[in-house]
Structure 1
Amino acid sequence: MSSKRLIYLPLGGAGEIGMNCYVYGYGAPDNERLIVVDIGVAFPDMDGTPGVDLILPDIAWLEERKTRIEAVFITHAHEDHVGAIGHLFERLGQPAVYARAFTSNIARGKLAEYGYSDKVVKTVSKWPETVTAGPFTVGFLPISHSIPESSSLVIDTPEGRVIHTGDFKIDHNPLVGEAFDPDLWAEVAAPGVKALICDSTNVFNTHEGRSESTLGPAIVELISAQRGMVVATTFASNVARVKTLAEAGEAAGRSICLMGRAMRRMIEASVDTGVLSSFPKVVSPEDAMAMPRDNVMLIVTGSQGERRAASAQLANGKYQGVVLKDGDLFLFSSKTIPGNEKGVIRIINQFSEMGVDVVDDSNGKYHVSGHANRPDIEYMQKLVKPQIVIPMHGEHRHLREMVKIAKGNRFQSILAPNGMMVNLGGNEPSVAGYVETGRTYLDGSAQVGALDGVVRDRIRMALNGHVTVTLILDDENEPLGEPWCEIMGLAQTGRSRAPLVEVLEADLDQFINRASEATLADDDKLEQQLKKIVRQTALDEIGKKPEVTVVISRLSA
């Protein structure tokens, strides 16, 4: 029996949708050589992570083992798969990064922001070209998704072949990028597959997935019926959809204008890497505004309600000189990701107040998902015929349902959420241990741990308000004047009808005047008592217990 093992460890993306980061290792226990698959981000919201810029996977376990990391492999260029590469590259020990041309273009841009050379990212051609990384041989197997050059990874190991699907759908005519090739997949699976690590995002959708090529006619029909300006939004990375929208607008006799930095960046990267051989002619916002409104179609960023994107700016009134008016049409050619509903609904209502008609994806005519539905997932499993199926890229309920499907199809399966290390060796998968996982917040330019208390304190201040108490004592512990308070985020007056600040200061002054010498001499005891009085008085006056900061200054002769 071998003393070495093959492990799989998700650090993000298994138990959530987004922030993908997966680790494979082979070697003696606790001394495996490692490869990392994807290093993505999740996006914050004002309810749970106020003020945070991005959410990154917690890579503390990897950082401690960075000398054992052979390479990083990026399956595709969506932010939840490549968005953290620049932020975390130093902590990973700056290993080689491998990706296909389009993804390499995006990854290089992210690393360049941190001063890294273009040479860090190695561009790899599609299967059968492979890369050797320690005990692993890895190839990029084309798969259809909603961004160019998406690839599954064929990972050959001493324990057998592993296929990591990445995000995928079964699309035989995706318009941009490679079509799904069942013959190639059957060929790759023919030698036998130890484990299939499989996208589970749409496992509850029982309808067969639709091709990107089915959307064009319906969008042309919609645009042709409009008499005002038409604006459409989708994911900037969905280059095929951007092209579909642009071609539909052109077919309806409109000039096309792209708005939003991310949108232009993705189209430029597609042209530079040969993903796009043609794209309708585009005009500048200035030229678009000089044209009759019924001759213009804008394609803009912000399909998820992002506050700084073009869609939100247009909803606020104006963006780059463009103002929407009564009779214009705004099309969401996208699905709202769970958690983003508030931002999208806010924009829809703002447009409604302007008289702009909004069309979303509720009827399914203007958007198709980039993820495999249940029939496609089952097709993938039966095509590959793996010994083991492990679900990833999904919430816990998605992972659990995928395990049921796999076992129903007589494949071994195990539910492995973030932090569960699985031993893929032997005759069946087993739990090899657990790793502490969580989230790292990019807060401005600083990375802070989810348990560091920064965001927790921010939420508590937002919920409860804040009071600062300042007290000055002399070297004999005698107060120099009364304590004074400053309040933030609290009502100015309470039940007594007197200003809250005055009530707080009066109660604090009473305490100071009767406090013992020992209390006045002990900063810790004094601070504790002052906080207690402020919170109790505020509760009596306004029904809130605020966060309290006490500043005690001692002046000597």
Structure 2
Amino acid sequence: MSSDRLIYLPLGGAGEIGMNCYVYGYGPADQERLILVDLGVTFPDMDGSPGVNLILPDIAWLEERKDRLEAIFITHAHEDHVGAVGHLYERLGAPVYARAFTANIARGKLEEYGLSEKVVRTVSAWPETVQAGPFSVGFLPISHSIPESAGLVIDSPAGRVVHTGDFKLDKTPLVGEPWDPDLWGSVAKDGVKALICDSTNVFSPEAGRSEASIGDQLESLVDEAPGMVVATTFASNVARVKTLAEAGHRAGRSICLMGRAMRRMIEAAIETGVLSDFPTVVPVEDARNIPRENLMLLVTGSQGERRAASAQLANGKYNGISLKEGDLFLFSSKTIPGNERGVIRIMNQFSEMGVDVVDDRGGRYHVSGHANRPDLVEMHKVMHPEMVIPMHGEHRHLREHAKLAESNGYTSAIAVNGTMLDLGGHAPKVCGFVETGRTYLDGTVQIGALDGIVRDRIRMALNGHVLVTVIVDEDDEVLGDPWCELRGLAETGRSNAPLVDCLEEDLSQFIGRAGAKTLRDDDKLEGELKKIVRQTTQNEIGKKPEVTVVISRLVG
């Protein structure tokens, strides 16, 4: 009996939506040869990660075993699947495989970091396969909200695993390949050991709708608008951008793309042959001189991103163009949970200008790129695997998907980030746990989520900060009085005296009665000064601030 095992280990994307990063391995325990599926990012928020640029998966476990990593496979070009390639590639070093459109985007991300685009290798769709150690991997076309999405057929000596990636069952997606149940069924005819399956929309009870179903509504909306029309959607949703552009073109409007990400996606789609008949667009310089009623802008920023074109327009003006009363702004997108505050802020800013804001309206102007509950059931039936392992979802999504699979006779297991499953038997079995977390891109530096940097930033934001400076001479005598500088704290408190005066008075009194032993010991002196600052500030204004003490000693 073989001692080899087939393992599945999510490092991101399981227990959360975004930051997809999944490891598969085959071989003897703790000696498996490995492949990585997707290397994505998620986005920070001001509440939990203020000042952070991006959040990346914690790949420390994989980096320690990079000599066993055969290859990286990217299912599609959304940021939560490919966005970390440029940031983390040097720590892994394995070749990257993707289909043409995704490869184009991945090469651009490597180029931003001065890395060779040659490490990305373009692969055609199934039945072409890539041999990566004990694995044979093929890209199985599937419809999604971005061109050339693919599930992965992962063959190993222990059997066939199908990793769906993100998908929807759309037979008329307008751009990209349609859902082909016969193709997927042919992959399953000889048996599928495990289906690793997208869980994002497991709570949506109705079957998903096609991208083709919203074109008429969009066209009517644009055609009836009296002023300028501005529409935002995910930059990567090339089909939607095309549908919007065609609606504007048929309404007799000039089309202008605003936002680097949107222009980049359309360029990549044209370069790789995914898109061949996109309506003519005008540069923003020309758009400024076109009558409002004849102009339609397609802009980035559907999720309320502060630096994107939508937010800039909401702030007043962007690239010389501003909105005014009678114009129309359309959100042709769904707001991702957690982004509501930013989107609503922009909506209100436009409303104050007199701009008519139109949102998703229950699906009239947007359809999801993910499979709903009935679609998941259909995928299970088509693939008929021995086991269904839910991925890409919060814990509640994974649990509901597992219950759905089990109710239809499939074995299942919930594997959140860091949970290693052995897929080699007839049912999934937990065979280990890996410590996982998050890596923050903070400016240009990668830091660990547990390093304390962001924690300190949050504490300062919540509690304010006091800087205390003390000068001590050669005889361990304090020169003058300590002085304080305050940031983010009320100037006066219960005593009606300036807070800084209260602090400096209490610190001076302590210094006056402190013993020689305390004044000679920097650590002890610092601790006592911090305690007094926090006590006084708590008494005066009900806050315990972060405190920095600077002790300067004069040397004779």
Question: Smaller-chain TM-score range?
Answer: over 0.9
Query: Per-residue deviation at 1:69?
Result: 0.2
* Partner residue in 1 for 2:9: 9
Deviations 1:362-408 (A, max 9, x none): 32100000000000000000000000100000000000000011101
Partner of 2:131, secondary structure, is: strand
In structure 1, what is the Cα distance between the partners aligned to 2:386 and 2:248? 48
Matched, 1:490 2:489: yes
In structure 1, what is the Cα distance between the partners aligned to 2:169 and 2:413? 24
In structure 2, what is the Cα distance between the partners aligned to 1:315 and 1:123? 40
* Partner residue in 1 for 2:214: 215
Q: Contact 2:387–2:427 (CA<8 Å) still a contact in 1?
A: yes
Matched, 1:512 2:493: no
Matched, 1:160 2:129: no
* Partner residue in 1 for 2:113: 114
* Partner residue in 2 for 1:296: 295
Q: Percent identity?
A: 75
In structure 1, what is the Cα distance between the partners aligned to 2:347 and 2:327? 13
Query: Per-residue deviation at 1:118?
Result: 1.7
* Partner residue in 1 for 2:330: 331
Alignment of 1:57-456 (within 5 A): 57-92=57-92, 94-456=93-455
AA partner of residue 296 (structure 1): L
Deviations 1:481-502 (A, max 9, x none): 1111001001111111211111
Partner of 2:432, secondary structure, is: strand
Which aligned runs of 4 or more in structure 1 are off by greater than 3 angstroms?
none
Moved more, 288-297 or 132-141: 288-297
* Partner residue in 1 for 2:41: 41
Deviations 1:219-256 (A, max 9, x none): 01011111100000000000000000000111111110
Query: Per-residue deviation at 1:538?
Result: 0.5
* Partner residue in 1 for 2:32: 32
Q: Contact 2:144–2:167 (CA<8 Å) still a contact in 1?
A: yes
AA partner of residue 77 (structure 1): A
In structure 2, what is the Cα distance between the partners aligned to 1:358 and 1:116? 42
Moved more, 256-265 or 114-123: 114-123
* Partner residue in 2 for 1:19: 19
Deviations 1:95-115 (A, max 9, x none): 100000000000000011111
In structure 2, what is the Cα distance between the partners aligned to 1:281 and 1:243? 11
In structure 1, what is the Cα distance between the partners aligned to 2:367 and 2:288? 31
Deviations 1:246-281 (A, max 9, x none): 001111111100000000000000000000011001
AA partner of residue 370 (structure 2): H
AA partner of residue 491 (structure 2): Q
Query: Per-residue deviation at 1:286?
Result: 2.2
In structure 1, what is the Cα distance between the partners aligned to 2:254 and 2:426? 60
Partner of 1:127, secondary structure, is: coil
Deviations 1:439-472 (A, max 9, x none): 1100011111111101100000000000000001
In structure 2, what is the Cα distance between the partners aligned to 1:423 and 1:364? 40
Give the number of equivalent residue pairs: 556
In structure 2, what is the Cα distance between the partners aligned to 1:546 and 1:218? 54
Alignment of 1:526-541 (within 5 A): 526-541=525-540
In structure 1, what is the Cα distance between the partners aligned to 2:454 and 2:117? 35
Instruction: Give the structure-2-normalised TM-score.
Output: 0.99
Partner of 1:267, secondary structure, is: helix
In structure 1, what is the Cα distance between the partners aligned to 2:189 and 2:555? 84
Deviations 1:279-332 (A, max 9, x none): 001011221221111101000000000000000000000000111000000000
Q: Contact 2:153–2:163 (CA<8 Å) still a contact in 1?
A: yes
In structure 1, what is the Cα distance between the partners aligned to 2:214 and 2:252? 18
Partner of 1:46, secondary structure, is: coil
AA partner of residue 99 (structure 1): A
In structure 1, what is the Cα distance between the partners aligned to 2:438 and 2:289? 48
Q: Contact 2:387–2:426 (CA<8 Å) still a contact in 1?
A: no
Partner of 1:90, secondary structure, is: helix
AA partner of residue 479 (structure 2): L
AA partner of residue 23 (structure 2): V
In structure 1, what is the Cα distance between the partners aligned to 2:488 and 2:72? 46
Query: Per-residue deviation at 1:426?
Result: 1.7
In structure 1, what is the Cα distance between the partners aligned to 2:212 and 2:383? 26
AA partner of residue 456 (structure 1): R
Instruction: Give the structure-1-normalised TM-score.
Output: 0.99
